[in-house]
């Protein structure tokens, strides 16, 4: 064990760490929890505005617990990974009812909240309650892998145990919150995934990766999830001044968000989308008038590329085969939370037909 790592990290934090964040130094566990959930899979630059918006709308966990689901999901719109929002609401309601409004105060109790894993529980318990629990995420693994020259894959069973044990051993138990914030900031500002600031890094004299020119080779990952493509055709079916939409359910992407009438293809069509036979399945013999076929829109998710195309048609009477959808006024669509690929289509100033 290199004894200087912790001391040097805290020295850098005191002397050079100027990274500003609205939740830094926060002791309220509710606000810390809110910031940590928002920052899961989200860049700080994007998450900051959402954090401030949520704190203003719901200053306490009780107010969040009482909020309408529709309102909370609409506020979350654009952040992605909507299971986080679902779990946020579920945990807020648990705290407000089962725990009588009192936020759990230990690592093990915090970890029982829906959507809270070891990293988030360690952050909350150390920041709010000074509990000596080390945070371990991709940033921390990268720093430790480079500094100690560890080639054990971070996503392996052995690797996860190794990095957790090492992070806990390095933790300053007297000021765990300050240490955890420092190492998180260090990974974001200095020991970055690409173009780390090695030559000016306070740790570089003892860093194995810097010494042996391994910075770009560490950390090591053993698993690479295959990326898949999905092709979604959305039918915007208009009836007078209303359109059909539904809330997505199940465990797929965008759970609890809304969408237009969907037909998902197994592969990208070779040529123009053959919408006529699909509409026959959706509408039966009911007549319709084609208004517009959009260009293709794309949304990049972590392990998926989603392509969406929108076909607008008009009908003259309700469609009985669309019983799982609801009719809403077009002017009220902004009240509903949609995936980004749909919002990008709705924001298009001119939706010109391809014909």
**Residues tagged active-site:** 36
* Contacts of 251 by beta carbon, 8 Å cutoff, 6+ apart: none
Find tokens 């990274």 and name the residue.
19
> DSSP for 21-51?
-TTTT---HHHHHHHHHHHTTS-HHHHHHHH
Give the closest residue to 77 by CA, choosing from 61, 22, 69.
69
- Judged on CB neighbours under 10 Å (0-12, 13-18, 19+), 75 is middle
| Total residues belonging to the chain | 355
DSSP state of 340: H
Task: Record the tokens describing residue 123, joined without a space.
Answer: 């952050």
By three-state DSSP, how is residue 15 classified?
helix
Q: Pairing mode, if any, of strands 242-247 and 326-329?
A: antiparallel
CA distance 60 to 18: 28
- Judged on CB neighbours under 10 Å (0-12, 13-18, 19+), 97 is exposed
Give the closest residue to 17 by CA, choosing from 184, 209, 204.
184
Strand partners, 32: none
* Contacts of 265 by beta carbon, 8 Å cutoff, 6+ apart: 231, 232, 233, 273
Max Cα–Cα distance, the chain, nearest Å: 77
């Amino acid at each position: 064990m290199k004894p200087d790592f912790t001391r040097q990290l805290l020295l850098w934090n005191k002397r050079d760490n100027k990274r500003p964040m609205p939740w830094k130094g926060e002791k309220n566990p509710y606000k810390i929890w809110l910031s940590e959930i928002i920052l899961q899979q989200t860049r700080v630059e994007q998450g900051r505005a959402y954090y401030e918006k949520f704190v203003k709308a719901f200053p306490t966990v009780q107010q969040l617990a009482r909020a309408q689901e529709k309102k909370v999901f609409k506020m979350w719109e654009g952040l992605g990974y909507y299971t986080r929002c679902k779990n946020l609401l579920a945990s807020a309601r648990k705290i407000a009812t089962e725990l009588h409004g009192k936020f759990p105060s230990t690592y093990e109790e915090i970890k029982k909240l829906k959507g809270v894993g070891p990293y988030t529980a360690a952050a909350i318990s150390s920041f709010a309650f000074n509990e000596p629990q080390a945070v371990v995420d991709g940033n921390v693994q990268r720093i430790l892998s480079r500094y100690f020259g560890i080639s054990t894959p971070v996503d392996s069973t052995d690797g996860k145990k190794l990095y957790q044990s090492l992070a806990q051993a390095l933790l300053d138990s007297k000021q765990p919150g300050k240490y955890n914030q420092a190492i998180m900031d260090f990974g974001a500002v200095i020991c970055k995934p690409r173009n780390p600031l090695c030559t000016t890094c306070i740790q570089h004299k003892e860093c194995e990766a810097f010494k042996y020119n391994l910075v770009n080779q560490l950390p090591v990952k053993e698993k690479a999830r295959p990326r898949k493509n999905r092709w979604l055709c959305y039918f915007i079916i208009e009836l007078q001044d209303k359109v059909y939409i539904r809330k997505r359910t199940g465990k797929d992407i965008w759970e609890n968000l809304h969408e237009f009438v969907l037909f998902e293809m197994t592969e990208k069509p070779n040529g123009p989308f053959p919408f006529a036979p699909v509409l026959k399945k959706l509408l039966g013999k009911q007549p319709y008038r084609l208004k517009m076929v959009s260009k293709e829109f794309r949304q990049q998710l972590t392990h998926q590329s989603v392509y969406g195309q929108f076909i607008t048609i008009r009908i003259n009477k309700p469609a009985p085969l669309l019983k799982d959808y609801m009719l809403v006024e077009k002017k009220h669509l902004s009240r509903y939370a949609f995936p980004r690929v749909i919002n990008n289509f709705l924001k298009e100033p001119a939706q010109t037909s391809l014909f």
